[in-house]
């Protein structure tokens, strides 16, 4: 499969996952509403909470992420080369304006992009990345992050994170209602009511887990897409492949101020390496780095 075909395929799969994610949240909302007497009320409640949560995340999420990761704005002359690299590749990518540039004081080799749109975005790299990568490798990483911005991955991932948050809120509300025996005005309906109650308990327990798995699946798809788009931007896939090799061999990949809420943003998982297993892969924020390197080297 060529670069353009892979980009198109990953986009279709990602949006399909978001669609099913939205359907899943509406279904959870309906079950909450059914328990309280009106399924439509539950759907409306889910959409209302989702709107408020989305607006907060949309306008304040990026700044919150930068604050959580202790990112500091990169300024000349100390980071002239980094700023010039971002600006030059932004022009090549056709971005209307270059994203703001930030740096994290950390020896780990990592980077991420965030924001609500290409016009309101930023790229952050660690000082360890700047020290260990050569010019072509750094360009590969920056191109990867700019691809996240150009492809609106930052918005897709924000939307996925918002939907996970809504799912957690609704399922927690539903579970507390069952545990404390409150609400539940839907007393009639016989076997159908019992079925919905059992289904509601199951959803309350499993919904956050399913939501998180779906969000991480979207994240993994977007990483492959950004690798392909970044290679297309620089016309030199080997630069990013070599950078990923150095990131893979980093003896201390832990980014001190990263957490589970921000891990999916980074170019590689910001936590210490652990043994691979089916469950680890299922809950991984990134696809296997060896697979990414292999795909890049095959371009």
Q: Which residues are catalytic?
A: 145
Contact 103, 126 (CB under 8 A): yes
Q: Which two tokens stand for residue 6?
A: 């892979």
Q: How far out from the chain centre does Cα 155 lie? A: 9
102: β partners:
73, 124
Q: Which of 262, 268, 222, 265 is nearest to 245 (CA)?
A: 268
Q: Which two tokens stand for residue 277?
A: 């297993």
- CB count, 10 Å around CB of 297? 12
Q: Which of 161, 166, 164 is nearest to 42 (CA)?
A: 166
Contact 286, 271 (CB under 8 A): no
For 77, which DSSP code? T
């Amino acid at each position: 499969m060529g670069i353009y075909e892979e980009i198109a395929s990953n986009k279709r799969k990602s949006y399909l996952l978001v669609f099913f994610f939205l359907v899943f949240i509406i279904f959870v909302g309906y079950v909450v509403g059914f328990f309280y007497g009106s399924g439509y009320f539950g759907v409306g409640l889910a959409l209302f909470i989702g709107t408020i949560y989305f607006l907060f995340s949309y306008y304040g999420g990026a700044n919150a992420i930068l604050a959580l990761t202790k990112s500091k704005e990169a300024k000349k002359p100390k980071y002239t080369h980094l700023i010039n690299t971002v600006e030059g590749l932004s022009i090549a990518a056709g971005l209307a304006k270059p994203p703001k540039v930030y740096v994290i004081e950390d020896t780990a080799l990592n980077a991420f992009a965030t924001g609500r749109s290409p016009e309101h975005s930023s790229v952050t790299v660690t000082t360890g990345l700047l020290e260990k990568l050569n010019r072509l490798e750094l360009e590969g990483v920056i191109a990867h992050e700019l691809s996240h911005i150009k492809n609106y991955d930052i918005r897709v991932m924000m939307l996925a994170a918002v939907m996970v948050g809504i799912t957690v809120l609704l399922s927690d509300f539903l579970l507390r209602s069952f545990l404390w025996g409150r609400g539940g005005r839907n007393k009639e309906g016989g076997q159908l009511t019992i079925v919905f109650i059992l289904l509601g308990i199951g959803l309350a327990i499993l919904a956050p887990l399913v939501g998180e798995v779906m969000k991480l699946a979207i994240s993994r798809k977007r990483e492959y897409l950004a690798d392909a788009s970044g290679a297309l931007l620089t016309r030199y896939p080997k630069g990013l492949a070599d950078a990923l090799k150095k990131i893979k061999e980093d003896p201390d990949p832990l980014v001190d101020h990263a957490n589970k809420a921000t891990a999916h943003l980074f170019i590689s998982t910001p936590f210490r390496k652990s043994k691979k297993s089916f469950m680890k892969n299922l809950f991984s924020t990134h696809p296997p780095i060896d697979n990414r390197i292999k795909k890049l080297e095959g371009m």
